[in-house]
Protein backbone atom coordinates (compact mmCIF):
# COMPACT_ATOMS: atom_id res chain seq x y z
CA UNK A 1 0.00 0.00 0.00
CA UNK A 2 2.85 2.38 0.65
CA UNK A 3 4.12 1.83 -2.89
CA UNK A 4 0.90 3.25 -4.28
CA UNK A 5 1.29 6.30 -2.05
CA UNK A 6 4.85 6.79 -3.25
CA UNK A 7 3.73 6.69 -6.90
CA UNK A 8 0.93 9.17 -6.21
CA UNK A 9 3.23 11.56 -4.35
CA UNK A 10 5.82 11.46 -7.12
CA UNK A 11 3.12 12.24 -9.71
CA UNK A 12 1.78 15.19 -7.68
CA UNK A 13 5.32 16.54 -7.16
CA UNK A 14 6.07 16.37 -10.89
CA UNK A 15 2.74 18.04 -11.74
CA UNK A 16 3.52 20.91 -9.36
CA UNK A 17 6.95 21.37 -10.87
CA UNK A 18 5.57 21.47 -14.40
CA UNK A 19 3.58 24.58 -13.54
CA UNK A 20 6.65 26.56 -12.57
CA UNK A 21 9.03 25.91 -15.45
CA UNK A 22 9.19 28.44 -18.23
CA UNK A 23 10.96 26.53 -20.98
CA UNK A 24 8.52 24.29 -22.84
CA UNK A 25 11.09 21.66 -23.74
CA UNK A 26 12.11 21.10 -20.14
CA UNK A 27 8.53 20.31 -19.14
CA UNK A 28 8.68 17.08 -21.10
CA UNK A 29 10.98 15.13 -18.75
CA UNK A 30 8.55 15.88 -15.89
CA UNK A 31 5.69 14.61 -18.02
CA UNK A 32 7.68 11.43 -18.50
CA UNK A 33 8.04 11.11 -14.71
CA UNK A 34 4.23 11.36 -14.41
CA UNK A 35 3.94 8.62 -17.03
CA UNK A 36 6.26 6.34 -15.06
CA UNK A 37 4.39 6.90 -11.81
CA UNK A 38 0.94 6.30 -13.29
CA UNK A 39 2.10 3.23 -15.25
CA UNK A 40 3.48 1.74 -12.05
CA UNK A 41 0.35 2.49 -10.07
CA UNK A 42 -1.93 0.89 -12.67
CA UNK A 43 -0.44 -2.51 -11.90
CA UNK A 44 -0.41 -1.91 -8.16
CA UNK A 45 -4.14 -1.18 -8.10
CA UNK A 46 -5.29 -4.31 -9.92
CA UNK A 47 -3.11 -7.40 -10.16
CA UNK A 48 -4.19 -8.74 -13.51
CA UNK A 49 -2.40 -9.57 -16.80
CA UNK A 50 -4.72 -7.23 -18.65
CA UNK A 51 -3.73 -4.33 -16.42
CA UNK A 52 -0.09 -5.07 -17.29
CA UNK A 53 -1.07 -4.62 -20.95
CA UNK A 54 -2.87 -1.39 -20.01
CA UNK A 55 0.24 -0.10 -18.22
CA UNK A 56 2.44 -0.92 -21.23
CA UNK A 57 -0.03 0.67 -23.67
CA UNK A 58 -0.33 3.78 -21.50
CA UNK A 59 3.43 4.18 -21.24
CA UNK A 60 3.99 3.73 -24.98
CA UNK A 61 1.17 6.22 -25.67
CA UNK A 62 2.66 8.85 -23.39
CA UNK A 63 6.10 8.35 -24.97
CA UNK A 64 4.67 8.77 -28.48
CA UNK A 65 2.87 11.94 -27.42
CA UNK A 66 6.00 13.43 -25.83
CA UNK A 67 7.97 12.56 -28.94
CA UNK A 68 5.43 14.32 -31.16
CA UNK A 69 5.34 17.44 -28.98
CA UNK A 70 9.14 17.61 -28.74
CA UNK A 71 9.68 17.29 -32.46
CA UNK A 72 7.02 19.93 -33.11
CA UNK A 73 8.56 22.40 -30.64
CA UNK A 74 11.90 21.86 -32.36
CA UNK A 75 10.29 22.96 -35.61
CA UNK A 76 10.07 19.50 -37.03
CA UNK A 77 8.00 17.88 -39.70
CA UNK A 78 4.36 16.82 -39.51
CA UNK A 79 4.18 13.41 -37.85
CA UNK B 1 -7.11 -1.78 -4.12
CA UNK B 2 -7.45 1.95 -4.17
CA UNK B 3 -7.89 3.70 -0.88
CA UNK B 4 -8.77 7.21 0.23
CA UNK B 5 -5.31 8.73 0.11
CA UNK B 6 -4.67 7.47 -3.42
CA UNK B 7 -8.05 8.80 -4.58
CA UNK B 8 -7.07 12.22 -3.25
CA UNK B 9 -3.64 12.13 -4.90
CA UNK B 10 -4.76 11.08 -8.37
CA UNK B 11 -7.81 13.33 -8.23
CA UNK B 12 -5.52 16.25 -7.43
CA UNK B 13 -3.48 15.31 -10.48
CA UNK B 14 -6.52 15.48 -12.76
CA UNK B 15 -7.72 18.79 -11.28
CA UNK B 16 -4.23 20.32 -11.46
CA UNK B 17 -4.02 19.42 -15.14
CA UNK B 18 -7.40 21.04 -15.78
CA UNK B 19 -6.49 24.26 -13.95
CA UNK B 20 -3.17 24.51 -15.76
CA UNK B 21 -4.87 23.98 -19.11
CA UNK B 22 -7.42 26.68 -18.36
CA UNK B 23 -5.00 29.35 -17.21
CA UNK B 24 -2.07 28.97 -19.62
CA UNK B 25 -1.35 31.23 -22.55
CA UNK B 26 0.85 29.24 -24.88
CA UNK B 27 -0.40 26.38 -26.94
CA UNK B 28 2.25 23.81 -25.99
CA UNK B 29 1.61 24.28 -22.31
CA UNK B 30 -2.06 23.52 -22.95
CA UNK B 31 -1.21 20.34 -24.82
CA UNK B 32 1.05 19.13 -22.03
CA UNK B 33 -1.70 19.85 -19.47
CA UNK B 34 -4.18 17.74 -21.45
CA UNK B 35 -1.66 14.90 -21.22
CA UNK B 36 -1.62 15.32 -17.44
CA UNK B 37 -5.44 15.06 -17.34
CA UNK B 38 -5.35 11.77 -19.24
CA UNK B 39 -2.70 10.45 -16.86
CA UNK B 40 -4.75 11.46 -13.85
CA UNK B 41 -7.94 9.65 -14.78
CA UNK B 42 -6.37 6.33 -15.75
CA UNK B 43 -6.15 4.84 -12.20
CA UNK B 44 -9.86 5.45 -11.70
CA UNK B 45 -10.74 3.56 -14.85
CA UNK B 46 -8.64 0.60 -13.73
CA UNK B 47 -10.03 0.68 -10.20
CA UNK B 48 -13.53 0.34 -11.61
CA UNK B 49 -12.55 -2.91 -13.27
CA UNK B 50 -12.69 -1.64 -16.86
CA UNK B 51 -9.25 -2.71 -18.03
CA UNK B 52 -10.21 -2.93 -21.71
CA UNK B 53 -11.60 0.61 -21.59
CA UNK B 54 -8.27 1.66 -20.04
CA UNK B 55 -6.31 0.13 -22.93
CA UNK B 56 -8.55 1.93 -25.43
CA UNK B 57 -8.32 5.32 -23.67
CA UNK B 58 -4.55 5.09 -23.27
CA UNK B 59 -4.19 4.54 -27.01
CA UNK B 60 -6.78 7.08 -28.15
CA UNK B 61 -5.83 10.10 -26.01
CA UNK B 62 -2.23 10.55 -27.25
CA UNK B 63 -3.25 10.02 -30.88
CA UNK B 64 -5.82 12.79 -30.40
CA UNK B 65 -2.96 15.06 -29.29
CA UNK B 66 -1.10 14.20 -32.49
CA UNK B 67 -4.21 15.09 -34.51
CA UNK B 68 -4.39 18.47 -32.74
CA UNK B 69 -0.75 19.10 -33.70
CA UNK B 70 -1.53 18.29 -37.31
CA UNK B 71 -4.50 20.70 -37.32
CA UNK B 72 -2.45 23.54 -35.82
CA UNK B 73 0.31 23.20 -38.37
CA UNK B 74 -2.09 23.20 -41.33
CA UNK B 75 -3.82 26.30 -39.91
CA UNK B 76 -0.51 28.14 -39.72
CA UNK B 77 0.34 27.11 -43.29
CA UNK B 78 -2.97 28.47 -44.57
CA UNK B 79 -2.31 31.85 -43.04
CA UNK B 80 1.31 32.23 -44.19
CA UNK C 1 -5.19 0.19 4.60
CA UNK C 2 -7.00 2.17 7.21
CA UNK C 3 -5.23 4.87 9.04
CA UNK C 4 -6.81 3.85 12.31
CA UNK C 5 -7.09 0.10 12.94
CA UNK C 6 -10.58 -0.90 13.95
CA UNK C 7 -11.38 -3.35 16.68
CA UNK C 8 -13.82 -5.93 15.33
CA UNK C 9 -17.51 -5.05 15.70
CA UNK C 10 -16.83 -2.09 17.92
CA UNK C 11 -19.86 0.17 18.02
CA UNK C 12 -21.06 3.10 20.01
CA UNK C 13 -24.81 3.48 19.73
CA UNK C 14 -24.88 1.68 16.42
CA UNK C 15 -21.98 3.50 14.70
CA UNK C 16 -18.51 2.06 14.25
CA UNK C 17 -15.79 3.73 16.25
CA UNK C 18 -12.53 4.27 14.47
CA UNK C 19 -10.22 4.69 17.40
CA UNK C 20 -7.94 1.90 18.31
CA UNK C 21 -8.22 0.46 21.75
CA UNK C 22 -4.69 -0.70 21.75
CA UNK C 23 -1.88 1.70 21.00
CA UNK C 24 0.54 -1.18 20.43
CA UNK C 25 -1.52 -2.51 17.54
CA UNK C 26 -1.50 0.92 15.92
CA UNK C 27 2.26 1.14 16.24
CA UNK C 28 2.73 -2.38 14.92
CA UNK C 29 0.72 -1.65 11.77
CA UNK C 30 2.75 1.49 11.05
CA UNK C 31 6.01 -0.30 11.81
CA UNK C 32 5.17 -3.06 9.33
CA UNK C 33 4.54 -0.47 6.69
CA UNK C 34 7.64 1.60 7.35
CA UNK C 35 9.79 -1.51 7.39
CA UNK C 36 9.34 -1.72 3.68
CA UNK C 37 10.96 1.66 3.10
CA UNK C 38 14.50 0.32 3.53
CA UNK C 39 13.69 -2.38 0.96
CA UNK C 40 12.29 0.25 -1.40
CA UNK C 41 15.46 2.34 -1.15
CA UNK C 42 17.63 -0.75 -1.80
CA UNK C 43 15.45 -1.61 -4.80
CA UNK C 44 15.81 1.96 -6.06
CA UNK C 45 19.60 1.73 -5.95
CA UNK C 46 19.63 -1.62 -7.78
CA UNK C 47 17.22 -0.33 -10.44
CA UNK C 48 19.28 2.85 -10.91
CA UNK C 49 22.42 0.80 -11.48
CA UNK C 50 20.65 -1.51 -13.94
CA UNK C 51 19.16 1.08 -16.22
CA UNK C 52 21.99 3.65 -16.17
CA UNK C 53 24.57 0.95 -16.91
CA UNK C 54 22.51 -0.53 -19.76
CA UNK C 55 21.87 2.87 -21.32
CA UNK C 56 25.47 4.01 -21.14
CA UNK C 57 26.80 0.69 -22.44
CA UNK C 58 24.43 0.83 -25.40
CA UNK C 59 25.61 4.31 -26.31
CA UNK C 60 22.50 6.37 -25.66
CA UNK C 61 24.29 9.65 -24.78
CA UNK C 62 26.24 9.69 -28.02
CA UNK C 63 23.66 11.49 -30.10
CA UNK C 64 19.98 12.21 -30.08
CA UNK C 65 17.99 9.44 -31.75
CA UNK C 66 15.15 11.67 -32.97
CA UNK C 67 14.94 15.43 -33.48
CA UNK C 68 13.04 15.91 -30.24
CA UNK C 69 15.84 14.30 -28.23
CA UNK C 70 18.40 16.62 -29.82
CA UNK C 71 16.26 19.64 -28.98
CA UNK C 72 15.95 18.57 -25.35
CA UNK C 73 19.71 17.98 -25.22
CA UNK C 74 20.44 21.47 -26.49
CA UNK C 75 17.95 22.95 -24.02
CA UNK C 76 19.62 21.18 -21.11
CA UNK C 77 22.99 22.44 -22.27
CA UNK C 78 21.73 26.02 -22.40
CA UNK C 79 20.63 25.67 -18.80
CA UNK C 80 24.17 24.85 -17.76
CA UNK C 81 24.23 21.10 -18.04
CA UNK C 82 26.24 18.67 -20.12
CA UNK C 83 25.42 18.00 -23.75
CA UNK C 84 25.79 14.22 -23.66
CA UNK C 85 23.78 13.99 -20.47
CA UNK C 86 21.12 16.08 -22.14
CA UNK C 87 21.05 13.73 -25.13
CA UNK C 88 20.49 10.82 -22.76
CA UNK C 89 17.65 12.61 -20.98
CA UNK C 90 16.13 13.38 -24.37
CA UNK C 91 16.42 9.74 -25.42
CA UNK C 92 14.74 8.61 -22.18
CA UNK C 93 11.82 10.98 -22.88
CA UNK C 94 11.33 10.33 -26.57
CA UNK C 95 11.73 6.57 -26.90
CA UNK C 96 11.32 3.52 -24.67
CA UNK C 97 14.75 2.70 -23.35
CA UNK C 98 16.12 0.61 -20.50
CA UNK C 99 14.25 2.62 -17.86
CA UNK C 100 10.89 1.75 -19.41
CA UNK C 101 12.05 -1.83 -19.82
CA UNK C 102 12.98 -2.10 -16.15
CA UNK C 103 9.68 -0.64 -14.97
CA UNK C 104 7.56 -2.90 -17.15
CA UNK C 105 9.68 -5.93 -16.23
CA UNK C 106 9.05 -5.18 -12.55
CA UNK C 107 5.30 -4.93 -13.26
CA UNK C 108 5.45 -8.21 -15.15
CA UNK C 109 7.28 -10.10 -12.40
CA UNK C 110 4.76 -8.75 -9.88
CA UNK C 111 1.82 -10.08 -11.90
CA UNK C 112 3.01 -13.55 -12.85
CA UNK C 113 6.60 -14.31 -11.86
CA UNK C 114 9.27 -14.90 -14.46
CA UNK C 115 6.72 -15.61 -17.20
CA UNK C 116 5.15 -12.23 -16.56
CA UNK C 117 8.59 -10.67 -16.91
CA UNK C 118 9.07 -12.35 -20.30
CA UNK C 119 5.61 -11.19 -21.40
CA UNK C 120 6.66 -7.66 -20.44
CA UNK C 121 9.78 -8.09 -22.61
CA UNK C 122 7.53 -8.90 -25.58
CA UNK C 123 5.39 -5.82 -24.87
CA UNK C 124 8.44 -3.56 -24.69
CA UNK C 125 9.74 -5.02 -27.95
CA UNK C 126 6.44 -4.20 -29.66
CA UNK C 127 6.66 -0.69 -28.22
CA UNK C 128 10.19 -0.27 -29.56
CA UNK C 129 9.00 -1.24 -33.02
CA UNK C 130 6.05 1.15 -32.86
CA UNK C 131 8.29 4.11 -32.00
CA UNK C 132 10.65 3.31 -34.92
CA UNK C 133 13.51 2.90 -32.51
CA UNK C 134 16.72 1.86 -34.19
CA UNK C 135 18.35 0.39 -31.12
CA UNK C 136 16.99 -2.21 -28.75
CA UNK C 137 17.79 -0.58 -25.44
CA UNK C 138 14.35 -1.25 -24.02
CA UNK C 139 14.34 -4.97 -24.75
CA UNK C 140 17.85 -5.46 -23.36
CA UNK C 141 17.06 -3.59 -20.18
CA UNK C 142 13.84 -5.53 -19.74
CA UNK C 143 15.51 -8.93 -20.08
CA UNK C 144 18.29 -8.09 -17.63
CA UNK C 145 15.86 -6.52 -15.16
CA UNK C 146 13.42 -9.46 -15.28
CA UNK C 147 16.05 -11.93 -14.20
CA UNK C 148 17.52 -9.65 -11.56
CA UNK C 149 14.12 -8.85 -10.04
CA UNK C 150 12.97 -12.46 -10.09
CA UNK C 151 16.22 -13.57 -8.52
CA UNK C 152 16.05 -10.93 -5.80
CA UNK C 153 12.46 -11.85 -5.00
CA UNK C 154 13.77 -14.96 -3.26
CA UNK C 155 15.99 -12.87 -1.03
CA UNK C 156 13.46 -10.54 0.55
CA UNK C 157 12.82 -7.68 -1.89
CA UNK C 158 9.37 -8.13 -3.38
CA UNK C 159 8.55 -6.92 -6.92
CA UNK C 160 6.14 -4.24 -5.72
CA UNK C 161 9.00 -2.62 -3.88
CA UNK C 162 10.90 -2.71 -7.15
CA UNK C 163 8.11 -0.82 -8.88
CA UNK C 164 8.23 1.97 -6.29
CA UNK C 165 12.04 1.88 -6.31
CA UNK C 166 12.17 2.29 -10.08
CA UNK C 167 9.88 5.32 -9.89
CA UNK C 168 12.17 6.87 -7.25
CA UNK C 169 15.24 6.13 -9.41
CA UNK C 170 13.74 7.89 -12.42
CA UNK C 171 12.91 10.89 -10.21
CA UNK C 172 16.59 11.26 -9.33
CA UNK C 173 17.57 11.34 -13.01
CA UNK C 174 14.78 13.37 -14.57
CA UNK C 175 12.79 14.92 -11.80
CA UNK C 176 15.14 16.84 -9.53
CA UNK C 177 17.55 19.01 -11.46
CA UNK C 178 18.44 18.53 -15.09
CA UNK C 179 21.65 20.49 -14.71
CA UNK C 180 23.33 18.28 -12.13
CA UNK C 181 22.02 14.94 -13.31
CA UNK C 182 23.16 15.63 -16.88
CA UNK C 183 26.59 16.48 -15.56
CA UNK C 184 26.70 13.17 -13.70
CA UNK C 185 25.60 11.25 -16.81
CA UNK C 186 28.17 13.10 -18.91
CA UNK C 187 30.91 12.14 -16.47
CA UNK C 188 29.87 8.48 -16.66
CA UNK C 189 29.76 8.66 -20.46
CA UNK C 190 33.27 10.08 -20.65
CA UNK C 191 34.40 7.35 -18.29
CA UNK C 192 33.05 4.76 -20.67
CA UNK C 193 34.46 6.07 -23.94
C6-24 per-position pLDDT tens digit: 555 656 555 555 555 567 7
pTM of the shown model: 0.88
Is A33 an 8 Å CB contact of chain B? no
pLDDT in tens, C21-33: 567 777 777 777 7
**How many structural domains are present in chain B?**
1
- N-term to C-term CA, chain B: 53
Q: Which of B13, B71, B77 to mutate to test the interface with A (most CBs of A within 10 A)?
A: B13
Could you report the predicted ipTM of this complex, rounded to two decimals?
A: 0.91
**Which of helix, strand or coil describes residue C157?**
coil
pLDDT in tens, C87-123: 999 999 988 889 999 999 999 999 998 999 999 999 9
Torsions phi, psi of C11, nearest 5? -135, 150
**Which of helix, strand or coil describes residue C15?**
strand
**Which of helix, strand or coil describes residue C148?**
helix
Is A44 an 8 Å CB contact of chain B? no
Is A40 an 8 Å CB contact of chain C? yes
Torsions phi, psi of C37, nearest 5? -70, -35
Give the whole-angstrom CA distance, residue C121 versus residue A32.
Answer: 20
Per-residue pLDDT, B75: 64
Report which secondary-structure segment, H or E, holds C86: helix C83-94
Q: Which residues, at least 6 apart from C71, have a Cβ–Cβ distance to it below 8 Å?
A: A25, A70, A71, A73, A74, C64, C90
Contact residues, chain A, for B49 at CB < 8 Å = 46
Report which secondary-structure segment, H or E, holds C12: strand C11-12
> Which domain, by its residues, includes B38?
4-79
Amino acid sequence: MIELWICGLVAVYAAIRIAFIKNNLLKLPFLNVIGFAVAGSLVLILKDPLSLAAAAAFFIGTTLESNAIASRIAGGKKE
Amino acid sequence: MIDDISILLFGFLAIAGTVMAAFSREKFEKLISVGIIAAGIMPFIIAGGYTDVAIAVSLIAPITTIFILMVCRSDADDYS
Amino acid sequence: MQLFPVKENATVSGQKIYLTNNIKEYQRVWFDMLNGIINIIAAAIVAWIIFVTTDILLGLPKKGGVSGAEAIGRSVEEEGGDLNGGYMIGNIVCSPDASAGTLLAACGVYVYGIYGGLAAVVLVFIGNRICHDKGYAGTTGAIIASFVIWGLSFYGISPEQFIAGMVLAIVTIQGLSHKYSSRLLGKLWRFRS
